[in-house]
Chains A and B, each alone.
Chain A
Amino acid sequence: MQLTTDRFKQNAAEALADANIQRAMRNVEGGFIDKRVAAISRLPEFDALRDNARDIKNHVLTNLDLYLETYERNVTAAGGKVHWAETGDDACAAILEICRKAGARIVTKGKSMVTEEIGLNDYLAKRDITPVETDLGEYIIQLRGEHPSHIIAPAVHVNRDQVESDFRRVHTQFDPNRDLTEPVSLLGEAREVLRQKYFEADVGITGANFLVAETGTSVIVTNEGNGDLTQTLGKVHIVVASIEKIVPTLEDTAQILRVLARSATGQDMSVYTTFSTGPRRPDDPDGPTEYHVVLLDNGRSSMLGTEYQEMLRCIRCGACMNHCPVYHAIGGHAYGSVYPGPMGAVLTPSLNGIEKTGQLPNASTFCGRCEEVCPMRIPLPKMMRHWREREFERHLEPQSARYGLGVWAFFARRPKLYRRAVSFAAPLLARLGGSKHRLASLPLAGGWTRYRDLPAPEGRTFLDQWSERQAKAARRAK
């Protein structure tokens, strides 16, 4: 997709004024958070599992070259083929070649963020191959010509009545007077339409939640079963996955699975967790006759050994965005990138460069909830700060911001002057705050006070109070 991160402020303002988005976003706040808490409270070992999940991925990342070699060897031994792709375009080209060899006109797709990252649907459609998204949420946004606004709930920004009008517009084969008021009737209609597509498609494309080095296995985690029909009914199964999806063993996968579903949807286990190893065996009655894995780098190898390496532990559960006040306010599309929310604010600059994406690590209140809930213990706020530093070093933010920071730095480096200025300003602001103790406007801060009041200082600074308290303690000690 086209990055529009440079329009972030405008996107955000539009999202805040969009009644549909605002209505839909309430489902994020209401749904995911409570379910997650309930699920983890039932598992006393949850935090120990998080630690182990983090350690497993750290071990993989420091040995990634060796695990990739092992993984490839085992895919090949099981009769599959690994295609290495340095860039998104390379991956698309490899997928196209496999599709063309299979004579594919229609390909079904399981939900996959990495195929969004490489722009696969547009790429195939331009070359006369029709991609059909089969995850209900992905299907809805494909009909709407949109991109996912959430990494596990792609259509979370869409309301039921919007889905109904999209289905009426596209599914012209059905009675126009049919009743679609209940979500279950919408689901039933999508099921009927897509059921046919699985049989028509020559190739099924899925992502992977994990690639197991030990066995050369790809793993998908879904609730609908669409990924399984996609990869079972096509003649050819193509797995598209990025290189950091590797885990060493089946046992390691079991560990991370326990934190994945709980963090994502608040389930103990998702409905379907599927381990696929190679194509159909000689005596298998079903399954694809070819099994391909397209292994994508697209900038990840350059994150290794840097302060952003830990981001490669991400298992795409979506907990960080589910708990992000900025995401709640504006939804996923406003970020203007494939990956929204806190994980996107760290990953997108790594993949696309900070020049175009500097707004994203700034779209944070630094409340720290994302790090608190991250099952892989990724220090997201710290990494957003690193990106802000890179941005500052490279003079990428607006002059006014640099000037403001310069003024701040001047005082911060001169503690005496700082204290004097603050002891002068604090009582003044307190008086200006009046009986409400709030300031509705401030010079040079109109952008900030337009949307909220600044709580006025209480009159005395922290340092004043601290030295007074120290003095009192000293007197008592005497």
Chain B
Amino acid sequence: MSARDAILGKVRRSLAAGAEDAQRRSAVAARLSDHPRGVVPKRGHLPKDERIALFEEQAVKANATVAHVAGYGDLPEAVSSFLRDKNLPAAVRMGADPRLASAPWAGQKTLEIHHGASDGEDASGVSHAFAGIAETGTLALTSGQDNPTTVNFLPENHIVVVAASDVLPDLETVWQNLRAARGTTGMPRTVNLVTGPSRSGDIEQVLLLGAHGPRALHIVIVDEA
């Protein structure tokens, strides 16, 4: 007997499963197809402006910094000024996200743009989030050519762009939008939920920022998008 059959057999025997199997099957099928939401906290359910303010407040509490731009036209200047303020090299790594690509990067004469996955040599990376979560100040990032996962973790400074209209009340709404966006293609390889920069409390429970991932997380909210 295979290990699979042995384990499933033991589980069934322990549960004394058998007669009511049809009932169990339909309960499981219903849960999978309905994916009920359960208890969703009220905290994030606010009108748009207040929701974005809550997102910002929660992200700052998680040690992220936040800036606003009116549209993608202003994004390159916002990125440049973040790098300047932190005395960082004028270079960023980013994927092929069309919203990022639509920004007038050529206007930033000294800013070098590297495309594709990060090899660990980049000081700063730029990603576009799929969504923001107001309840917790969390960013949801999906993997792929548009936003390579390595950009989220290898550069010491991570700049994440999020459209104001994608700042959602809660994680449940992110799943709803992701299901709608992906249709039958299912989950992307990776969904990263990111709340603030990397940290560790493993030495005497003292909180230190910048463990293995980015030391700084800078969020740029695009107000008119």
Residues of A within 8 A of B (CB): 24, 27-28, 30-32, 43-45, 48-49, 51-52, 56, 59, 62-70, 72, 77-78, 84-86, 90, 134-137, 140, 153-156, 158-160, 163, 183-184, 186-188, 191, 194-195, 199, 213-215, 217, 223-226, 228-229, 232-233, 243, 248-252, 254-255, 257-258, 265, 267-281, 283-287, 295, 297, 301-306
Contact = CB atoms under 8 A, between A and B. Distances in A.
Contacts of B143: 284, 286-287
Given A65-B15, A279-B189, 14 more contacts: A31-B205, A49-B41, A188-B210, A191-B210, A195-B120, A228-B149, A251-B35, A251-B175, A258-B41, A272-B213, A275-B187, A277-B187, A287-B190, A305-B16
A84 B2 contact: yes
Contacts of B152: 228
Contact of B204 (A27, A217, A278): A27
A267 B117 CA distance: 30
B202 A271 contact: no
Given A45-B42, A48-B39, A251-B35, A63 B28 contact: yes
A284 to B, nearest CB: 6
Interface residues of B, number: 78
A153 B95 CA distance: 35
B120 A271 contact: no
B190 A64 contact: no
Nearest to B154: A229
| Complex A-B, nearest 6 residue pairs according to Cβ-Cβ distance, in ascending order | A225-B213, A224-B211, A137-B202, A304-B14, A301-B10, A249-B35
Interface string B1-16: 0111011101110111
A306 B153 CA distance: 43
26 contacts: A27-B204, A45-B41, A64-B15, A65-B11, A66-B24, A68-B7, A70-B28, A90-B3, A136-B211, A137-B200, A158-B203, A186-B203, A187-B203, A187-B208, A214-B35, A223-B198, A251-B35, A251-B36, A254-B175, A269-B136, A274-B190, A281-B144, A285-B95, A286-B148, A287-B143, A302-B14
Nearest to B202: A137
Given A65-B12, A302-B14, A153 B205 contact: yes
B19 interface: no
A228 B195 CA distance: 14
Contacts of A56: 38
Interface in B180-225: 186-206, 208, 210-214
A251 B3 contact: no
Given A215-B186, A228-B149, A286-B148, A265 B213 contact: no
Nearest to A277: B187
B31 interface: yes
Contacts of A295: 7
A214 B190 CA distance: 15
A370 B55 CA distance: 33
B96 to A, nearest CB: 9
B205 A156 contact: yes
Contacts of B4: 72, 84
A226 B195 CA distance: 15
B212 A134 contact: yes
Contacts of B7: 68, 84, 86, 243, 295, 297, 301
Contacts of A275: 187, 190-193
B49 interface: no
A224 B202 CA distance: 10
Given A27-B204, A90-B3, A287 B10 contact: no
B106 interface: no
Contacts of B10: 297, 301-302
A76 to B, nearest CB: 12
B212 A280 contact: no
Contacts of A272: 192-195, 198, 213
A269 B195 contact: yes
Contacts of A257: 171
A67 B3 contact: no
B201 to A, nearest CB: 7
B190 A276 contact: yes
Contact of B136 (A30, A187, A268, A277): A268
B25 to A, nearest CB: 6
B200 A187 contact: yes
A140 B201 CA distance: 13
A277 B36 contact: no
Nearest to A69: B8
A214 B175 contact: no
B157 interface: no
Contact of A225 (B43, B187, B193, B211): B211
A419 to B, nearest CB: 45
Contact of A191 (B27, B170, B172, B211): B211
B166 to A, nearest CB: 17
B196 A232 contact: no
Contacts of A305: 14-16
A304 B15 CA distance: 6
Contact of B149 (A78, A86, A287): A287
